[in-house]
Structure 1
């Protein structure tokens, strides 16, 4: 028997969801040119990140995403026990991520967003419309994690409190409006206009950036930096997106502004990955990788 004749074992639902979560994180990292973010060109506004580290980080999270989906299958409904199980798995996944990256926070926000979406998808794999999945994710996010350790505030929590603006927690509790109202519609619109897949993904990122109160940018550059990000992203979209010559010029200007401010829209990048997850979810589960 040759290797080509060996049949693959059918993947479980949890394994398919974990595969998809890691896949979209890698695709988000590779997408170029992203303003201020790590991509194939370089490290963006970061001194401690590079593309290889982003890939390693994404791969390290596969077990956590699988366990979150399995937990949702086991609990079978949104309840307090599921919320606290997901919180524990997420914290364990973060520890492993930091071990792999040598202490660098690469995907903390993505663990939250994609972990919720993996669990929400696993709760009902027959209701995979983006709106249905994000509604279930919101119901999970509305529950408090009573086992959450009392620790120093994260950077995102600090700026949310300082500026009185919503962050990643509120985005999830509202059903990810940055994705449902902006990122996903722009992705589909740009595809329908034949912008090309890479341009469509960049346009989706910019649509998210144009609206999101990105705490990564707020922490590094304050309200003026946030205004710069949102206005610059909006200008690219209004100029016809990344497929247009003027849009590309404005994208370059936005990239230069983010580099000058040392501000990287990491929150928007996490939500782009989540956008790609929701976009591919139904097809991925209907024809899972590794199936016979």
Structure 2
């Protein structure tokens, strides 16, 4: 049985995911401009609908972590089982978000282990959970694991087992952009581009190969090097980058899931409290 706190964590994760979906323009990724799925082949409204189908599974993951109390092998196996059931529910609701479910599921579970933990401590706990093998997982290689083996990319599992370094990079970029006077949409786009600039995205490697990956990384760095999306030059570079990726039909989906993870941690009681002085207990009561 889930508690109010578990459901609040799940809803915060869904809000982070829908917040990521609302950003525009996102280079090569679904955003509100894609209502007819002409460019990304994934209807944006369907993605929003299916994002909400994650909530019960994420709440169950939080409950499992709270009940277990430690990042143990049994918890890892339980999270895997819940995740596979949630993937099935999301597929019935329209599909998508598999990468985001992996990121958010681990972070939600880690946050449930200690509601008082800061963002770095939550990422460290997620790392400990991910370090354990899921012995009940199907014994067939996923596309992501196959691509990771072929190109030597860390992939989603490697990112988690390293403590989500790109989530931390996104959090740092958010803080830097806000401090520089960027509005929230600009700060989040800069965070997304920061992830894109260095992530070895296995989805992108699958569709575009190493040349495509380097192209995306260079394009993201180019926007940031012009001053980011808060500047006129940066906005022009962003639109050109976006148009180019849509024309090539290259989609850096891995970056989107990691940005959602960063937005979830950014909305955590500890993170919000450090910015606004709001206490953790007050945030949990208001959730």
TM-score by length of 1: 0.90
Provide the rounded CA distance (Å) in 2 between the counterparts of 1:155 and 1:254.
Answer: 27
Provide the rounded CA distance (Å) in 2 between the counterparts of 1:110 and 1:44.
Answer: 23
Give 1:158 shift. 2.3
Give 1:179 shift. 1.5
* Residue 38 of structure 1, aligned match among 26, 30, 35: 30
Q: In the alignment, which residue of structure 2 is the partner of 1:29?
A: 21
Q: CA 1:159–1:261 in 2, change beyond 3 Å: closer, same or farther?
A: farther
* Residue 82 of structure 2, aligned match among 77, 89, 102: 89
Task: Tell whether the 8 Å contact from 2:65 to 2:75 is kept in structure 1 after alignment.
Answer: yes
More displaced stretch, 253-262 vs 15-24: 253-262
Q: Tell me how many residue pairs correspond in the alignment.
A: 275
Query: CA-to-partner distance for each residue in 1:8-29, whole Å, 9 max, x for gaps?
Result: xxx7210110110110111111
Task: Tell whether the 8 Å contact from 1:45 to 1:259 is kept in structure 2 after alignment.
Answer: yes
Give 1:52 shift. 0.8
Report whether the alignment pairs 1:213 with 2:200. Answer: yes
Unaligned runs of 5+ in 1: 1-10
Provide the rounded CA distance (Å) in 2 between the counterparts of 1:79 and 1:222.
Answer: 36
Unaligned runs of 5+ in 2: 274-279
* Residue 157 of structure 1, aligned match among 128, 136, 145: 145
Give 1:44 shift. 7.3
Report whether the alignment pairs 1:172 with 2:160. Answer: yes
- Tell me the C-alpha RMSD between the 2 structures: 1.6
Q: In the alignment, which residue of structure 1 is the partner of 2:114?
A: 124
Q: In the alignment, which residue of structure 1 is the partner of 2:263?
A: 276
* Residue 132 of structure 2, aligned match among 143, 147, 165: 143
TM-score by length of 2: 0.92
Q: In the alignment, which residue of structure 2 is the partner of 1:267?
A: 254
Runs of 4+ in 1 over 4 A off after TM superposition: 284-290
Q: In the alignment, which residue of structure 2 is the partner of 1:60?
A: 53
Give 1:260 shift. 2.4
* Residue 112 of structure 1, aligned match among 80, 83, 102: 102
Query: CA-to-partner distance for each residue in 1:153-205, whole Å, 9 max, x for gaps?
Result: 3332221122121100000000011121x211111100011110000000000
Provide the rounded CA distance (Å) in 2 between the counterparts of 1:18 and 1:130.
Answer: 16
Provide the rounded CA distance (Å) in 2 between the counterparts of 1:14 and 1:109.
Answer: 21
